[in-house]
Amino acid sequence: MEYENELAIVEANLQKAKNDYAIWFNGPDPADIAVAEARLNDVEARLLSAEAKYDDLELIAPFDGIVSDTFVRAGEWVVQGQPIILLADLNQLQIETTDLNEIDAARVEIGSPVIITFDALPDIVVEGTVVSIAVKSSEGTGVNYRVVINPTEIPEDLRWGMTAFVDIELE
């Protein structure tokens, strides 16, 4: 009886092997291949989407600098174009004055030499050059114009936002 059971099991396994062989002899079913390819394409598309979302999580600045202010907190949602941080390049500081009166504005030119002193650094005098002059007066009291000045050097102890006095040399 034991051998008859073993023989029946072996014969069943042989029949299963023959059935499997018949199924795979001519290769897989084209419909099964199409389904598998569709699933593969779907997974690849989801992978590309996930990678793109991951890449969007990284902020890349166009220059080296120091983060001087942040405008969002961790976990907060932001929208495209919303400021996230204020990045400062302290090697490229400019000085801006907003109180050049209209009489002097008519005589100042781009490239005019400037002498710069600082309230916080009374012993330091720096030269500079006018790089831009506003074409429209600033809003506020009086008629004043915004002028941007590039200093020829950046004093070591100078910090962003410190008060400066500029003396624009007129010809």
> Which SS3 state, helix, strand or coil, does residue 119 take?
coil
Beta-strand runs (E) in the chain? 66-70, 85-88, 95-101, 113-118, 125-133, 144-151, 164-168
pLDDT of residue 56: 79
pLDDT of residue 62: 85
Convert the pLDDT of each residue in 75-114 to its tens digit: 898 888 899 899 888 788 899 988 889 898 899 999 999 9
Convert the pLDDT of each residue in 30-82 to its tens digit: 888 899 899 999 999 999 999 988 887 777 888 888 888 999 998 898 888 89
- Cβ(109)–Cβ(129) below 8 Å: no
pLDDT of residue 129: 96
Q: How many Cβ atoms are within 10 Å of 119's Cβ, its own excluded?
A: 9
Give the containing element (helix H, strand E) for 14: helix 2-25
CA 66/CA 157 separation, integer angstroms: 16
Mean pLDDT computed over 19-33? 81
Convert the pLDDT of each residue in 115-166 to its tens digit: 999 999 999 999 999 999 999 988 877 889 999 999 999 998 888 888 999 9
Q: Which residue has the higher pLDDT, 4 or 110?
A: 110
Farthest-apart Cα atoms in the chain, separation: 122
- Cβ(137)–Cβ(87) below 8 Å: no
